[in-house]
Amino acid sequence: MKTKYILPILIALPIWIVTLLPSCSLDYDPLDTYSDVTEGVDDEGTATVAFKDKAAVTSHRQTLLELFKNGQEHWYLDMLLLAESHADNAYAGSPNSETTPFEVNSIEGSNTNMRRDWNGHMGNIAQANKMIVFVDSVSDPTLTEAERRQFKAEAKILRAMIYFDMVRIWGNVPLVTSVAGDITSETVEEVYPAYFPPQTDALTIYQQIEEDLLEGLQYAPDNDPRNKTQLSKSVAHALLAKVYAEKPLRDYDKVIQYADQLAADGFGLVDEFGDLFGVTLSDPSAPPSQTNKAIDAKARNLKESIYEAQFFPGNASWVTWMFGRPLEDWTFYFTWAKWITPSRDLIRTFTSEPGDKRYEESVVFYECDWSIYYPANHYAFMYKTRSAYNSIIKLRYADILLLKAEALIGKGDLNGAAQIINQTRRRAGLHDLPASAKTSKESITNAYLKERRLELAFEGQRWFDLVRLDKVEEVMNTVFDKDEGRPPMAMPYTSLSYVLPIPQDVIDQNPNLVQNPGY
């Protein structure tokens, strides 16, 4: 009998499985069972099928739509550790072998955060690929052609979003756009590369992201102002603006084009910055406390939110208690040091101009039982994710609007860039930029970076801003001397710091992967 294996969609198949492939003791032919890849056989019993009917497809689509919501660890928590604590916005918060290396620049391939993030993202890509590859072959006639096109478009936008994060974190990563076939003794040589893919250069990854987004635009649904959890055309517009701002495909005209398209889609700045992150308290006239708890988020689906994960009473997030007091339960897990502690350097930047409303929406002070970075009676905490009912916004219009300002700076339109920066400053309660900020490209770039830092603090943007604009060495090699709360730097930041190490466990399992230089 032919030796046959149907395996889950994995990127690195453990070596011990490969060594057992020829063995008849693993004679396993699960064509009549379900797996991560297949849902049984076709009507003739001759071929495996990924989706047995429309219900299976729509169920998998819902899984894709909830990946961000259900992946709070690698999509959000670890992204903040990288983008905020590895930059100058935050300290690690809870010093340990996982977090401290991000704070002091000593990240290695053995870091467990890197491993879970890599595996989480690659697993999510596999889930997107399942829809892209198999939806057209579903034989159920009730699954319309329009639905097939839409579901595939959504999956391509999702895959692009995941790869956009991966390529910015690791640079050269495996490009996987298919689903690995069954491994048998006869097909192992053919299938092997799919389970052990080599890295692809960053430019090619960006080109695949661009292709996925442009193809996804054709059939993805329009933005629904009532539901910002969808993988809509507007999500693709936002991602394209961000992609074209990055060095490999930099095209400032296209950044402006897609930023303007979002405005045409109906997006804009909300009047009150606090509406994006606020909560509804049982007594709105009193401050939050254990007796005056959050009963819901203040708002969802605001016109500024492009893509968000939503949580509700009875279906809440868990990640909020990693950052501070969850306002729906004041004391819940508030017995140990929290992650992503706001840095003194960030706080000084917030208070450098009096009256910035964003400060009190981003940073809060509580009394606690530890004094790692601040006195225990006045300890700083990240405040943007303040209850388990708040949405986590992945894509926000203010981010894209400010990227338009970056594009205008790149094109030499300093006044146009200043006008955009002034929009977010005015909402924050600040005056327009002084004339001196517009006298040179350097001065407007500094004002721009400061504005993005304050507007988007604790939203996973700061590190990538520094990398994109080649500011890592200038900013990070000096912040340790001026921020007395930051522990000593382990290694100076260089151009090799712009990407992080490939997880060593993944390299050990996949001999076709090569560690990034400098690690």
Average pLDDT over residues 395-404: 98
6 confidence band (pLDDT: 50, 70, 90): very low
Q: How far apart are CA 219 and CA 392, in angstroms?
A: 26
The whole-number pLDDT of residue 49 equals 80
pLDDT digit string, tens, across residues 448-489: 999 999 999 999 999 999 999 999 999 999 999 999 999 999
Query: pTM score, two decimals?
Result: 0.91
- Mean pLDDT of all residues belonging to the chain: 91
Query: What CATH number is given for 53-220 in this structure?
Result: 1.25.40.390
Q: What does residue 70 show for φ and ψ, rounded to 5 degrees?
A: -90, -5
For the chain, which residues make up each domain, given as ranges? 53-220, 273-303+311-390, 395-484
Q: Nearest 5°: phi and psi at 113?
A: -65, -45
Position 18 confidence tier, pLDDT thresholds 50, 70, 90: very low
* Helix (H) and strand (E) counts in the chain: 20, 12
Give the least confident one: 20-34, 111-125, 129-143, 215-229: 20-34
Place of tokens 């339109």: 413
- Within 8 A by CB and 6+ apart from 141, the residues are none
User: Top-level CATH class of 395-484?
Assistant: mainly alpha
- H or E stretch at 436: none
Q: Is the pLDDT assigned to residue 63 strictly greater than 60? A: yes
Say if residue 29's pLDDT is above 60.
no
Phi and psi at residue 308, to the nearest 5°: -145, 155
CA-based torsion, 75, 406, 499, 492: positive or negative: negative
The two structure tokens encoding residue 227: 């539901």
294-297 and 341-342: which strand pairing?
A: unpaired
**Band of the pLDDT at 39, cuts 50, 70, 90?**
low
CA distance 395 to 379: 29
Shared fold status for 53-220 and 395-484:
yes
pLDDT at 376 (0 to 100): 98
Degrees to nearest 5, angle at CA 98 with 92 and 104: 50
Please list, residue by residue across 360-398, b when 16 or more beta carbons sit within 10 angstroms of its beta carbon and e when fewer do.
ebbbbbbebeeebbbeeeebbbbbbbbbbbbbbbbbbbb
Is a pLDDT exceeding 50 seen at residue 2? no
* Residue 306 φ then ψ, to 5°: -100, -40
Give the pLDDT score at 415.
98
- Each residue of 157-208: pLDDT tens digit? 999 999 999 999 999 999 999 998 776 667 667 777 778 899 999 999 999 9
Exposure string over 117-136, b if 16+ CB within 10 A, otherwise e: bbbbbbbbbbbbbbbbbbbe
The set of long-range contacts for 149-154, using a CB threshold of 8 Å and a minimum separation of 24, is 149/218, 149/219, 150/219, 150/220, 150/221, 151/57, 151/61, 152/219, 153/215, 153/216, 153/217, 153/218, 153/219, 153/220, 153/231, 154/61, 154/64, 154/65, 154/216, 154/220, 154/221, 154/230, 154/231
